[in-house]
Structure formats: structure tokens, C-alpha cells
Amino acid sequence: MTSLLITNIGELVTWDSERPVLRDAALVVEHGKVTWFGDRTKAPDADAVRDVGGAAVIPGFVDSHTHLVFAGDRSAEFEARMSGRPYEAGGIRTTVAATRAATDEQLAANVARHLAQMRALGTTTVEIKSGYGLTVHDEARSLAVARQATEETTFLGAHVVPADIDVAGYVDLVTGPMLEACAPYARWIDVFCEDGAFGADESRTVLAAGAAAGLQPRVHANQLGPGPGVQVAAEAGAAAADHCTHLDDADVAALADTGVVAGLLPGVEFSTRSPYPDARRLIDAGVTVALATDCNPGSSYTSSMPFCIALAVREMGMTPLEALWSATKGGAFSLRRDDVGHLAVGAKADLVVLDAPSHVHLAYRPGVPLAAPLTS
């Protein structure tokens, strides 16, 4: 079989510049790519036909920010937060200890389990960070595990400073032997630029060393409070500044002016019971917004992009269509990819069928498994 016609699509979201959303549509896939889409009644012949019975079809979700290489459990921290305890980034060290103690096989099995959950919920592209190893050996093997699962791998040795070393010594390690060991497995470099993690100058040093080793920058920015993260991301020409929960007007202007994508991660605010980022303010200022899960055992243990869409619509001022864009095309911008996150002609045929007539149901029916990849 070389061509497949998917027809009787009640609503087709392509993000094509002329016809981003179509009703009563059809689409043709050949050799894993979209070769035609349009009005159902004008569809060309194909070798096989699939009738989706009026369902909506959307691009697969692009989850541009996850920390899937980890071991251990931090549900007790979540339970304590729900009784009023604040989120503490120091909890990262608990996961570091469990991750160091795990074998490569255990880490890979954990990644595979979470990826299977993500795929079942409609995610077709995933970025995965290291950051729970924090030694040369444990960061490199974390990235080797991640690289088996995705091309979108990020070296986050600069996640927190381990207890047994000072900041300056650790930045030297991250930008020296650790970077050398990790760069072959990574496309991106990331730094947690935040009080209690890495300051502006340290973050600049980390990103510059990564860039010199061929890694493109992205930043954990302005998550727990105001700070320099967004400005550091803008200066570095980062693809994304992720979190963006605490922004001043200059931060918003910097994102809009430089085109750095603001990655919003509402699973964090849900799981830490904190105020959500103001997506409306960013969109109205012309900032490109991506939505991602930040899937990790501490601040956001969800693998569900539909859950993030529901939160973005209910809590962050996004329309259902904006949230879907940010979870697909916005994620693709964050990863500097033009082959995923949309279904225009030439795109990868990462099709997701909704058990619903329109994308609105993703937020209208939170917690319901409506999205599933089209299987051949």
C-alpha cells in the first residue's frame, strides 16, 4: 500500500496558512507524509481508504519539554504540597539519588513507559532532558538513554548544584568534561536560571559553552520568581524560555522582539498549587507560545498534553484553538522543527484522531482520553 485516504473528517486541523481548519475534509498520506488535504468530495483516489466517521483529526502533539530520564517517586512531596507546603526545587536532589542508583535498563524502561503513555494520549514528538544525573557518567548515560527514544535530547547538567561541590566548581565541570561526554548525545543545552540554581552569569557561561560544542540553547526561566532567565535566553538566541510564570514588561517585550518561544508548562502550577502564567498577555504582545508537560517526578508529573490544553484554556486565558496551536505548531517552533506540529502538504503524517467532532472537546472534556494516534 502506498497511499492512504483518510476521509469523513468532521474537522481537520492542518495549520496550513490558507486553510488552517477545515470541515468535512479528507487527507492523503503517502510514504509517511501528507500529500493532499481538502474537501472530502474532491479527494483523489488512493490505494486504501479509512473513514473516521466525522471525527476531528489534528496534528500529533509536540511535547517540547520533559524530564523523562529519572527513577524514584516523589508523591509524598505532592501530598505535602496539597496540605500547604511550598514547592522546593531542592527536591530535585531526591530524584538525583534515585536516578544514580538505577541501571541504564531501568532508566530506559521508565522512559519507554512514559513515552507509551504520551503516545496513547496523542503525543508524537517528545523532547527529553537529562538533569537528574549531575555527574559526568550519570548525565552521559541519561542522555544516551534519551537518545534511544528521541532526536530531541537536551543536556541539562546545569539543573541544580549537587551537595558535594560549589557553584563555580560545578559550572567548570558542566562546561568541561560533562559537556564533552554529553554533547554527542544532545541537540540542545538547557540551564535552570533561578535563585537557588544558576544565576545570570553562570547561565550565560553554560549556554555559551554548549553553543561552542554545537548545542542550541534553551532555558528554564522565571519559574519560581522574577529573574534574569528570559533576558539570558533572549541574549543567547535561545529557541525557548520555558516556564515564564513571573514576567515583567521588559521580559514580555524581549520575547516578542527576539522570537524566543515562551514555553508554558501548566502542569507545574497545577502540581505546585501556584499562580498560572498569563498566556493571554504573551499572545496579545505577539509572543510565540508553546505548551508542554514538563513531565518530571517533582513539579509536574503528567504525561498528558490534553490535560495541559485543558488547564491553558481554563486557567490561562487561551482559546481552545490557541491552546491546540501551542501544543502542536508552537511546540514545533520551540524545537525549531518544520516537519511536525502541522498537517499541511509535506508534513510528517503524525495524525491524531479525536473521539470527538472538534478540538474544543480537548478542554471541554478534561481527563477523558479522546486523542489517539492514527494507526495504520
| Of 189, 188, 207, nearest in space to 199 by CA | 207
Q: Where are the alpha helices (DSSP H) in the chain?
A: 75-82, 92-101, 104-120, 136-149, 167-173, 179-182, 200-212, 229-236, 249-258, 266-272, 279-284, 305-315, 320-327, 329-334, 361-364
Nearest residue (CB) to Fe ion, 139 versus 294:
294
* Residue 298 binds ligand NIG (CB under 6 A): yes
Q: Which of 61, 78, 192, 307 binds ligand NIG (CB under 6 A)?
A: 192
**Residue 277 interacting partner from ligand NIG, Fe ion, none (CB closer than 5 to 8 Å by kind):** none
| Of 29, 62, 61, nearest in space to 43 by CA | 29
Beta strands at 21-30 and 33-39: parallel, antiparallel or unpaired: antiparallel
Contacts of ligand NIG in 207-246 (CB under 6 A):
220, 223
Nearest residue (CB) to Fe ion, 7 versus 296:
296
Interacting span for ligand NIG (CB under 6 A) from 163-171, 290-298, 340-348, 353-361 = 290-298
Q: How far apart are CA 168 and CA 244, in angstroms?
A: 26
Nearest residue (CB) to Fe ion, 27 versus 193:
193
Q: Is the dihedral of CA 8, 11, 13, 16 positive or negative?
A: positive
Q: Which of 161, 193, 268, 347 binds ligand NIG (CB under 6 A)?
A: 268
Interacting span for ligand NIG (CB under 6 A) from 106-114, 119-127, 169-177, 295-303 = 295-303
**Residue 95 interacting partner from Fe ion, ligand NIG, none (CB closer than 5 to 8 Å by kind):** ligand NIG
Contacts of ligand NIG in 34-63 (CB under 6 A):
none
Q: How far apart are CA 64 and CA 219, in angstroms?
A: 12
DSSP H or E run through 25: strand 21-30
**Residue 210 interacting partner from Fe ion, ligand NIG, none (CB closer than 5 to 8 Å by kind):** none
Binding site for Fe ion (CB under 5 A): 294
Q: Which of 69, 92, 207, 309 binds ligand NIG (CB under 6 A)?
A: 92
Q: How far is the CB of 322 from ligand NIG (least distance, A)?
A: 23
**Residue 40 interacting partner from ligand NIG, Fe ion, none (CB closer than 5 to 8 Å by kind):** none
Apex 334 CA angle, 78 and 107, nearest 5: 50
Q: Which of 14, 66, 271, 299 binds ligand NIG (CB under 6 A)?
A: 299
* Residue 199 binds ligand NIG (CB under 6 A): no
- DSSP letters spanning 37-87: EEEGGGPPP-SEEEE-TT-EEEEPEEE--B-----S--HHHHHHHHTTPPP
Q: How far is the CB of 161 from ligand NIG (least distance, A)?
A: 13
Nearest residue (CB) to ligand NIG, 144 versus 265:
265
Interacting span for ligand NIG (CB under 6 A) from 53-61, 145-153, 228-236, 291-299 = 291-299
* Residue 110 binds ligand NIG (CB under 6 A): no
Q: What residues contact 201, with CB distance under 8 A and at least 6 apart?
A: none
Q: How far apart are CA 273 and CA 85, in angstroms?
A: 10
**Residue 332 interacting partner from Fe ion, ligand NIG, none (CB closer than 5 to 8 Å by kind):** none
- Could you tell me the CA-to-CA distances from 204 to 166, 219, 226, 370 in Å, in that order? 18, 10, 17, 42
Binding site for ligand NIG (CB under 6 A): 67, 89, 91-92, 95, 192, 220, 223, 268, 294, 296-299
